Copies of this chain bind each other. A is one copy, B any other.
Amino acid sequence: MGTTTNPYELHLDQNPANYVPLTPVSFLQRAARVFPDYTSVIHGQRRFTWKETDARSRRLASALAQRGISTGDTVAFLAHNTPEMYEAHFGVPMIGAVLNAINTRLDADAIAFILDHGEAKVLITDREFGELVTHILGKVFYKPLVIYIDDPECENPGPKIGECDYEAFIAAGDPAYQWALPANEWDAIALNYTSGTTGNPKGVVYSHRGAYLTAVSNALDWGMGPHPVILSNVPLFHCNGWCFPWTVAMTAGTFVCQRRVSAKVIYDAIADHKVAYVNGAPIVLGMILNAKEEEKRSFDHIVNVMTAAAPPPASVLASMEQQGFRVTHVYGLTETYGPSVVCAWKEEWDHGDIEEKARLKARQGVPYTLQFDLMVADATTMQPVPADGETIGEVFCRGNQVMRGYLKNPRASDEAFAGGWFHTGDLGVMHPDGYIQLKDRSKDIIISGGENISSIEVEGVLHKHPSVALAAVVAKPDIKWGETPCAFVELKPGHNLTVEDIIAHCKANLAGFKCPRDVRFGDLPKTSTGKIQKYVLRKQLQDEVGDSVPL
């Protein structure tokens, strides 16, 4: 029966004609070639075409190369969502360098740590951060080349720190610079530090391949046609704006910049630029709904809103839909290039009432089209839990939308990948129809009298109360029960509630053991990306209890 050698292994190798490393930089090449005069980027009074964005990105690559930057070198950005930051997503990888977009809300110590850890050779910063940069430069061990962005839209420019401004820097570059494909599609394209609620942040490394496939899947999973106009309320320093800069190039769409998210910015972008895609943290939904009348603008197209992790309550969803917004719920982590799970919507669900729709949409969902696999499993044995919508396990995923690992942190990488799956650290359930739903971060679960209490579930009930603006529930040490739920509540302006009101509301909506025993009112501590810092709340409770409870 045939030859003994597999004939498909003979003289059918990869060569430059039939194998090209996947890199999202190729999307820019195509956009500039096929749609040279289409609008690529809008920022205030500035407006670029794909031909221009391509030339500017090549100039940036060329200028960096002139300064000796090359493969495996880190180029850091400390900037808002401006055209320069957009171009960095192409110009930096064009020379094989790695883009490290840094969270602008961090303090000088944290940023200095990141620059040193990432060994950044270049730091490109917005003038707004001039003072901060001075402090940072006083702290870093490796001194990077510093360039500043002098954005005319900047309302509070600080001192000009650095060698020259960005425009002068790239003016020295060649607009026709011939960039090379990465030697390997596994090569690093970006470095993103996790916000790190405890300890030093970890540097998540993205590959060209992963960025490429995420960019494509974004378009598939959000149902984006050609030339979408998108306002990214996700900062580009957060998972590279969920990889949407690359998606926009692939679709030859338009990327609308902003220096600061606000209701006015969102509505103006929708009305003035026909933005049809808006992404952002759940807070963006609130901004849209609670905009003042003078901020709202009318529009006559559907605006798609992608929001992550925190499911929109039914009332929010209903209001959004009435006002012409269509919400897509996604879930992911920095380690998964941003969203890699989507609550893929089924037409037949359109017929349910709004409560039912909200219940379905509250689920995080299924793997992205180009992500490979997702499971909820016992954290130790890694055996999948029953798909009963009840049994809590850890969420695991695997596929090309998982990071290469943590930079210079082999132990953390090994832990994250133990058993051949990425450990998200999130707890959830698997519903019978294959959709997952998050129940908690593993460290946020409350164990009271041996029973697991999902802080997300209790928070969901609190958020249904019309006077509650924001709520967080954490474990309070308890001699009898081990832990009990304690609620921290921010009320809406002009509203008043008592502890008893909150507890009564919870008792009406929750099993008794899940109800908070303790309720505190006041502003909640948040990270620079707007996440509630539960560890601060937990620490506060532990400090109060002091040594009275063995921990």
Interface residues of chain A, those whose CB is within 8 Å of chain B, are 1-3, 6-20, 22, 26-27, 30, 33-36, 71-72, 98, 119, 121, 142, 186-188, 205, 210, 216, 219-220, 223, 225-226, 250-251, 344, 346, 366-367, 369-370, 372-373, 397-400, 402-405, 407-408, 410, 413, 416-417, 420-422, 434
User: A6 and B205: CB pair below 8 A?
Assistant: no
Closest 6 CB pairs of A and B: A6-B72, A16-B420, A2-B119, A18-B402, A8-B188, A12-B404
User: B434 and A11: CB pair below 8 A?
Assistant: no
**Cα distance A405–B11 in the bound complex, in angstroms:** 8
**Cα distance A199–B407 in the bound complex, in angstroms:** 56
Q: Using CB atoms, name the residue of chain B closest to A347.
A: B227
Q: What is the predominant secondary structure among interface residues of chain A facing chain B?
A: loop
**Please, which residues of chain B bring their CB within 8 A of the CB of A12?**
188, 205, 404-405, 407, 413
**Please, which residues of chain B bring their CB within 8 A of the CB of A11?**
405, 410, 413
User: B413 and A20: CB pair below 8 A?
Assistant: no
Contacts A8-B188, A17-B422 known; 13 new A-B pairs at CB < 8 A: A1-B142, A7-B119, A7-B407, A8-B98, A10-B408, A12-B413, A17-B397, A17-B402, A33-B366, A34-B434, A216-B216, A220-B251, A223-B225
A519 CB → nearest B CB, Å: 40
User: B98 and A405: CB pair below 8 A?
Assistant: no
A228 CB → nearest B CB, Å: 12
A369 CB → nearest B CB, Å: 6
- Given B10, B17, B346, B422, which contacts A420 in the complex, CB threshold below 8 Å? B17
User: A8 and B205: CB pair below 8 A?
Assistant: yes
User: A20 and B398: CB pair below 8 A?
Assistant: yes
**Please, which residues of chain B bring their CB within 8 A of the CB of A223?**
225-226
User: B434 and A8: CB pair below 8 A?
Assistant: no
**Given known contacts A11-B405, A12-B404, A188-B8, A369 and B417 CB-to-CB distance under 8 angstroms:** no
- Given B1, B30, B72, B205, which contacts A366 in the complex, CB threshold below 8 Å? B30
User: B405 and A18: CB pair below 8 A?
Assistant: yes
User: B408 and A33: CB pair below 8 A?
Assistant: no
User: A1 and B399: CB pair below 8 A?
Assistant: no
- Given B9, B16, B250, which contacts A398 in the complex, CB threshold below 8 Å? B16
User: A17 and B205: CB pair below 8 A?
Assistant: no
**Cα distance A354–B142 in the bound complex, in angstroms:** 63
**Please, which residues of chain B bring their CB within 8 A of the CB of A8?**
72, 98, 187-188, 205, 404, 407
User: B408 and A18: CB pair below 8 A?
Assistant: no
**Cα distance A20–B36 in the bound complex, in angstroms:** 35
**Cα distance A370–B15 in the bound complex, in angstroms:** 17
**Cα distance A441–B96 in the bound complex, in angstroms:** 39
**Given known contacts A33-B366, A34-B344, A223-B225, A422 and B18 CB-to-CB distance under 8 angstroms:** yes
**Cα distance A20–B422 in the bound complex, in angstroms:** 13
A412 CB → nearest B CB, Å: 10
A438 CB → nearest B CB, Å: 18
A163 CB → nearest B CB, Å: 16
**Please, which residues of chain B bring their CB within 8 A of the CB of A71?**
6
**Cα distance A250–B367 in the bound complex, in angstroms:** 12
